[in-house]
């Protein structure tokens, strides 16, 4: 099998299971947190607060990038399909005129914020490398699919837009209005997973440092609020038409 075909085959396979990445990160975080020295946190509470804010903002940036991409996308693009590549329209304007894969860029920031919260520099480097190797193949397979489907239209656009790190050089204003309903309908699970990720790291750190699992009222408040919002939005999505939009995926 030619290397190009091997990359595409692997990319399509990884595409199907990309939703399992958070589980992998959670599993890897256990030994990372166990072997990380957190003595510096015990000596400086202010540093802990600063790091928490920085990590949370990085994850928030990822959510915002995803929100912009999803909230301004054509129907049947940038979807949550897991079985195969799907695209009935080509996004080339708005955020898609600055970067070809804004959703994957958003994913990186969203999860690297949680990874940074382990306060382990080497884990951040490792996850960044693994993320690139994993998504490079997914992006390759996706672009092969789009090139076959849209031909020169896709090739001409891709030649002027970077794949992962944005550039405003060729920015073109999008024509599709931003939809908050689309964000609420499609992104609630990702936001909840991110919050749970931060909570998980905090619980692990306290457990390994103190030798026992300590659950405080702050954890309860955060978890209840996150799950409640997710449950309400999921109910509205599946049982009502409050979040329904005619021409949105």
Summarize pLDDT for 179-225 with one digit per residue, the tens.
898 898 888 888 899 999 999 999 999 899 888 888 888 889 989 99
Task: Tell me the C-alpha distance between 16 and 172, whole Å.
Answer: 31
Largest CA distance in the chain: 60
Specify the pTM. Answer: 0.88
Q: Inter-axis angle of helices 121-150 and 21-35, to 10 degrees?
A: 170
Q: Which domains does the chain have, with CATH numbers?
A: 3-177 (1.20.120)
Q: What is the DSSP string of 76-94?
A: TSS----SS---SS---SG
pLDDT at 78: 45
Among the listed residues 219, 217, 201, 198, the one whose alpha carbon sits nearest the alpha carbon of residue 209: 201
Among the listed residues 196, 245, 200, the one whose alpha carbon sits nearest the alpha carbon of residue 225: 196
Q: Tokens in use for 94?
A: 């708005």
pLDDT > 70: what percent of the chain? 90
């Amino acid at each position: 099998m030619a290397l190009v075909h091997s990359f595409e085959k692997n990319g399509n396979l990884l595409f199907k299971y990309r939703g399992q990445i958070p589980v992998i990160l959670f599993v890897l975080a256990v030994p990372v947190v166990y072997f990380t020295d957190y003595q510096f946190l015990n000596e400086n509470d202010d540093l802990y607060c600063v790091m928490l804010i920085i990590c949370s903002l990085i994850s928030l940036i990822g959510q915002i990038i995803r929100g912009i991409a999803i909230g301004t996308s054509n129907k049947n693009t940038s979807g949550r399909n897991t079985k195969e590549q799907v695209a009935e329209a080509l996004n080339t304007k708005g955020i898609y005129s600055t970067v070809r894969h804004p959703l994957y860029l958003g994913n990186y920031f969203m999860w690297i914020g949680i990874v940074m919260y382990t306060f382990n520099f080497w884990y951040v480097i490792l996850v960044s490398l693994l993320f690139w190797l994993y998504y490079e193949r997914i992006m390759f397979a996706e672009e092969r699919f789009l090139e076959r489907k849209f031909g020169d239209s896709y090739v001409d656009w891709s030649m002027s837009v970077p794949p992962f790190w944005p550039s405003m050089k060729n920015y073109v204003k999008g024509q599709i209005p931003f939809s908050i309903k689309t964000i609420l309908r499609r992104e609630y699970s990702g936001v909840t997973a991110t919050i749970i990720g931060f909570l998980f790291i905090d619980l692990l750190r306290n457990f390994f440092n103190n030798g026992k699992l300590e659950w405080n009222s702050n954890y309860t408040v955060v978890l209840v609020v996150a799950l409640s919002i997710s449950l309400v939005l999921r109910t509205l999505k599946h049982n009502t038409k409050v979040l329904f939009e005619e021409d949105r995926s």
